[in-house]
Amino acid sequence: MEIRQVNDEEFLRWRIAVRASQGFHTTPDDTVFMRAHRVEIDRLLACVDGDTIVGCGGADSFDLTLPGGAQVPIAGVAYVGTAPSHRRRGIYRNIMERIHDDARDRGDVAATLWASQSSLYGRYGYGNSMPAHDWQIDMRHTAYAHSPSWSGRYLEPQRDEAIPLMAEAYDRARVDRAGMITRTPKRWEYEIHPVHTKDEFFVVYVEDDCALAYARYTIDKNPEDEFRGTLHVVEAVAATDEAHAAIWRYLLDLELVDDVKAHVRPVDDPLVWMLAEPRRLRRRLKDAIWLKLLDVPAMLAGRTYPVEESLVLQVTDAESGEAQTYKLETGSEGGRCTASNATPDLAMNESELAAIYMGAVECSMLAELGLVDVGAKSHDATLRADAIFRTNPAGWNPYHF
């Protein structure tokens, strides 16, 4: 068996293998559209046994917003799967290691992914860094008690007009929200596929001719009563608090639906505090984006921090098993991370460091669970780490790549 880059001649076979491993079919037309709008073929991998593709993997190139607003290159890992006939032969691990090595060679400082199973990726150094909520609420209980006021207007464009407006609002939001990633014009065209998203509606909130928020949604009609149904919010992104309140007011005022379901909402989304009946908003916590720090010093130095502090961290690499010790000095202008021979304040695997990096997971909680070791002379180190890594707003990525 051999792991190698995919070429154009075998791209359709590769895509069929990827989709089959995930329980889906594909078509030549879909594959052509994907090749033109999404993938970088030199980032795609196939494991071949003779003439058969038995394993797949790859990555997409993105820039990730760090706390403080810096943009860094990352690998968006995707397309990973193994044929049932070749499981438990090390293909999965070898593909992941190759993806990481290739990403480092390209200068990527981190990798992110959406996990099909939450037990898969900790072993490769990924941490559950940006959990999210799925929402459901009865439309009868969606009145606001408190909210910012807004003065803009709504647009209800069709697909071709909606895409540039949504991209404008998304890019405004992205630079201020840690965890969000870039989306190219071609990626927007791919994600808002003219066939696969034909049932979606679009709404854009505009102030002074600037797009500040948007939502994509569908409506499932009750088969027994066409005047009832469920509103599914596919994506809702806002660049300001006022635009957030406005776009959700539009959604919650839609008629002829009984309830609203929304997916992958930020853990610190303020809507729950805006509602007159907040307990009616049912929130289910889920893992969303998993993060791996491919270059620990660069990632720790690249973000800003809310306090001036210092910590000595021992971090064990998931792939090599080797431990490195770093001194992290933090402040509002950024961090400084250098190799150190000092006694660690905290010792952890890289997956735990990745989990706390975006501020949505507290180091002290991980320590209570035995996932972080505290030095004998560093009793307050986890609380200091909580203060260091806290972000506002919390890390979030709504884009399911």
Residue 219: exposure state from Cβ atoms within 10 A (0-12, 13-18, ≥19): middle
pLDDT of residue 155: 98
Same domain, 260 and 176: yes
pLDDT of residue 317: 95
**Residue 242 pLDDT more than 90?**
yes
In a domain, 400, yes or no: no
How does 63-92 read in b/e, with b if 16+ C-beta sit within 10 Å? ebbbbbeeebbbbbbbbbbbbeebeeeebb
Same domain, 167 and 264: yes
Cα distances (angstroms) measured from residue 142 to each of 138, 239, 276: 7, 22, 7
**Residue 65 pLDDT more than 90?**
yes
**Residue 239 pLDDT more than 90?**
yes
Q: How confident is the model at residue 60 (pLDDT cuts 50, 70, 90)?
A: very high
In a domain, 192, yes or no: yes
| Strand locations in 317-382 (E) | 323-331, 334-339, 346-349, 372-374
In a domain, 194, yes or no: yes
Higher pLDDT, 118 or 394: 394
> What CATH number corresponds to the domain at position 332?
3.30.1050.10
Same domain, 215 and 279: yes
* 261 close to 322: Cβ distance less than 8 angstroms: no
Give the count of beta carbons closer than 10 Å to the beta carbon of residue 272: 16
pLDDT of residue 51: 87
Same domain, 174 and 269: yes
pLDDT of residue 352: 97
**Residue 226 pLDDT more than 90?**
no
Domain boundary among 283, 313, 334: 283
pLDDT of residue 228: 85
> Which tokens in the block code for residue 235?
């994506």
Q: Give residue-wise pLDDT tens across range 71-92.
A: 999 999 999 999 888 888 899 9
What is the 8-class DSSP label of residue 141? G
> Which tokens in the block code for residue 293?
């720090």
pLDDT of residue 87: 86
> What CATH number corresponds to the domain at position 75?
3.40.630.30
Identify the domain containing residue 108 by its residue range. 2-114
- Residues in CB range of 239: below 8 A, 6 or more apart: 169, 172, 173, 176, 212, 213
* 316 close to 348: Cβ distance less than 8 angstroms: yes
Signed CA dihedral, 91, 97, 99, 102: sign only: negative
User: How many structural domains are present in the chain?
Assistant: 3
Same domain, 90 and 7: yes
Strand-pair category, 52-65 with 259-266: unpaired
Computed over every residue of the chain, the mean pLDDT equals 95
Side chain identity, residue 74: I
In a domain, 156, yes or no: yes
Least confident range from 39-48, 218-227, 235-244, 339-348: namely 218-227
pLDDT of residue 246: 98
Instruction: Give the mean pLDDT of 358-386.
Output: 94
In a domain, 229, yes or no: yes
Same domain, 151 and 275: yes
pLDDT of residue 222: 82
Q: How confident is the model at residue 356 (pLDDT cuts 50, 70, 90)?
A: very high
Domain boundary among 56, 82, 114: 114
Domain boundary among 60, 82, 114: 114
